Chains A and B, each alone.
Chain A
Amino acid sequence: MSTPKLNLDTSEAELIERVCQGDKEAFYCLVQPCERGVFTAAMSILNNAHDAEEVAQEAVLKAFTALPRFRGESKFSTWLIQITINEARLKLRKDRRHLYESIDEQQTDEEGEYFPKDFADWREIPSEQLQRTELRSALKRALDSLPPKYREVLILRDVQHLSIEETARVLSITEGSVKTRLVRARLQMRDALTPGVDGSWSCGKREFEKVRPW
């Protein structure tokens, strides 16, 4: 059985109206354009595809029940991502897998500065390099190595392209905190990804200080 296709002429408000009258297909049409966003938001917290899918499904079902209370103060997609983030955090607490990554710690911002670790030059990446397996796996490792509260912000802003305001809303933090966490996340990613002396991403060497061409 195939999934229903979204009729582009059908507005979000119309779909919501139909869902409130019990139309599940209309709900799927509403959710379908956001599904990657929902999955990615769950991944930003859980960093595990299986758990993220489970949480994405729970969040979507929760949104279905809660939809009559949706007041349109934000876009539907933002509201759904907010529910997903909350569900993902709940799962983290339940699983108690992250005893040492306290959820409460996520509510505060340490104020120390983050200093770049090296100043190796890293010019624009040629397009043909972007898909290199070596680069992509270095990128994945760098993302995995980020502390969760920085990874969340980086993913919402730079992968999902939410605005600063939307990111603050879905994470229930201030816009100032979004900016502080984002600069740390990006600088840490840069440090983790700056190519080694031979231009390779696999060595992870740190002994370069010279400004190099690509």
Chain B
Amino acid sequence: MKVIEISCLEVWREISNYLDGEVDAELRSRMEAHFKTCAHCKAVLDGTRNVVRLVGDGIEYQVPEGFSKRLYDKIKNK
């Protein structure tokens, strides 16, 4: 079956949905065919995947020291 080509612009618009598994099978194969031939879009894909992986550990959003205890006290004193 011939895969219909897709533009870079369409790829960027869908790149996040692609990473989340939110594109249908037909769009997925068009995008995959595009990534094989377009180094720019492949670079955008790899970088975007890295962003998701990097922020995913949540290190930037640790609760402050003593947060639990202060919250518990608030509830107790309610």
B13 adjacent to A113 (CB under 8 Å): yes
B67 adjacent to A190 (CB under 8 Å): no
A187 adjacent to B12 (CB under 8 Å): yes
User: Per-residue CB proximity of B1-42 to A under 8 Å, as 1/0?
Assistant: 000000001001111110110100000000000000001101
- In the complex, which of the residues B16, B63, B70 contacts A186, with contact meaning CB atoms closer than 8 Å? B16
**How many Å from the CB of A135 to the closest CB on chain B?**
8
Stretch binding the partner chain, chosen from A8-16, A69-77, A153-161: A153-161
Contacts of A43 in B (CB 8 A): 61
B68 adjacent to A32 (CB under 8 Å): yes
The chain B residue sitting closest to A61, CB to CB, is: B78
B74 adjacent to A155 (CB under 8 Å): no
A66 to B71, CA, bound (A): 17
Question: Given A139-B60, A189-B55, A39–B67 Cβ distance below 8 Å?
Answer: yes
A40 adjacent to B61 (CB under 8 Å): yes
User: Per-residue CB proximity of A107-129 to B under 8 Å, as 1/0?
Assistant: 00000011110011111110000
Could you give 15 example pairs across A and B, Cβ below 8 Å?
A24-B75, A27-B75, A35-B67, A56-B67, A119-B39, A120-B47, A135-B54, A139-B60, A155-B61, A159-B55, A183-B16, A186-B15, A187-B16, A190-B50, A211-B43
